[in-house]
Chains A and B, each alone.
Chain A
Amino acid sequence: MGGVFRKLGSMAIDGVWQLGFIARFFWLILRYSGQSFTRLHLTLRELYFSGVMSLLIILVSGLFVGLVLGLQGYETLQRYGASESLGTLVALSLVRELGPVVAGLLFASRAGSAVTAEIGLMKVTEQLKAMDMMAVSPIARVVAPRFWGGVLSMPLLAALFSAMGVFGGWLIGVVFIGVDNGAFWSQMQAAVDFRYDVLNGVIKSTVFGVAVALIAVFEGYDCVPTAEGVSRAITRTVVSSALAILAIDFVMTSFMFRGL
């Protein structure tokens, strides 16, 4: 009986410890991120690896999500004789929720896991220690550029996802099913507000970018330097990024869209 409590207590203390460590790590990244902008090619390289390399999966999934939204939305809306509102449905659900969230989940599994693996392997092969011995801060040289690469590419990827999704919804609704093109766009434009919907989506995706990038670099930096430790760190990155995105999304939605 006492063992259970001891275990619970040690888990709680461990959790608080890790939270504090993440906070300090975040502060360190911010402090050392000056270098990742003065030596811009470091950050550009990461922007390439996490942004450009994720383009294909983001664009294709955005298209498919839009196609499905178009089909399912039409199915329900036409029962109420409101099939012209298809554009509104597709655009609002993509811009407000699905764009940032699904792009964030894909980004975590495509780019976040790769960043964790890279940093973890650097730790296993003691490259991080070697940098430290050469008086090169591994946080400034390795961690901060990867963090900023993730933070900068996430809103762009989410915007591309939403744009592709709207295109997919248009393809199904207007081209295949035959909803009126003018009504599709004009109803969408009447309902989607730039500041309220589009800008809030951009803010959301930026916050998700910070969360995913921080979790990815932290798990890589914190991993147990063995082959098994790296694989576990990658799993933790994907799982905790997904949880973080969904939880933060709920909190931000309840602040941003209070049903007016």
Chain B
Amino acid sequence: MSRTTLDLWVGVFVAMGIAALLFLALKVGSISGSDIQSPYTLSARFDNIGGLKARAPVKSAGVLVGRVSEIRYDNEHFQAEVVFTVDGRYKFPTDTFANILTSGLLGEQYLGLDPGGEEKTLAPGDVIKKTQSAVVLEKLISQFMFNKAADGEPAPAK
């Protein structure tokens, strides 16, 4: 069997297809699994997680250090339990503060880690005790209204 021009064209086609796949994988998407190395799992309990979802980023000082892997309801504490993986290169002290924050005004929600000053670091499987729930807009507005009302009260007394 000899080589034909048909084989050449099929080769060109397959090479183009694979190049397109590589382009999609490397340039359009980023192979995000690879930038988190030897991950370990931590968890935190929140009163309210707002709109946090699985696969949401975990950031410390604005840098991506891990991802949320699971969110479940803890029926013992009546709280949300957020399980997340953190890159093995990064260690956090035991008094790390976990917040649920929003990127931008209407952006996606993410888990922010504020490290404390403790010497000991969190081991895999540990639970972060200090947490701050997501800001619920309705509560914020009602708080604002109450404050306004409280400020306004002395005025009619005059």
Contacts and interface: CB of A to CB of B under 8 A. Distances in A.
A41 B78 CA distance: 65
B1 A156 contact: no
A260 B31 CA distance: 19
Interface string A53-79: 001000000000000000000000000
A243 B10 CA distance: 29
10 contacts: A44-B6, A48-B9, A52-B9, A91-B28, A155-B17, A163-B24, A164-B20, A193-B29, A193-B30, A198-B21
A185 interface: yes
B29 A162 contact: no
Nearest to A201: B24
A47 B24 contact: no
A189 interface: yes
Among A55, A156, A188, A190, the most chain B Cβ lie within 10 Å of the Cβ of A156
Secondary structure dominating the interface of A: helix
A166 B28 contact: yes
A151 interface: no
Contacts of A153: 13, 17
Nearest to B19: A163
B119 interface: no
Interface of A: 41, 44-45, 47-48, 51-52, 55, 91, 95, 153, 155-157, 159-160, 162-164, 166, 185, 188-190, 192-198, 201-202, 260
Nearest to B54: A260
Nearest to B26: A194
Interface residues of B, number: 26
B28 A260 contact: no
A194 B18 contact: no
Contacts of B53: 260
B7 interface: yes
B33 interface: yes
Contacts, number: 88
Contacts of B145: none
A163 B6 contact: no
B129 interface: no
Given A55-B13, A189-B29, 18 more contacts: A48-B9, A51-B10, A153-B13, A155-B17, A156-B16, A156-B21, A162-B24, A163-B24, A163-B28, A164-B20, A189-B30, A192-B30, A193-B30, A194-B25, A194-B29, A194-B31, A196-B55, A198-B25
Nearest to A160: B20
B30 A160 contact: no
Given A159-B17, A160-B20, A202-B21, A194 B6 contact: no
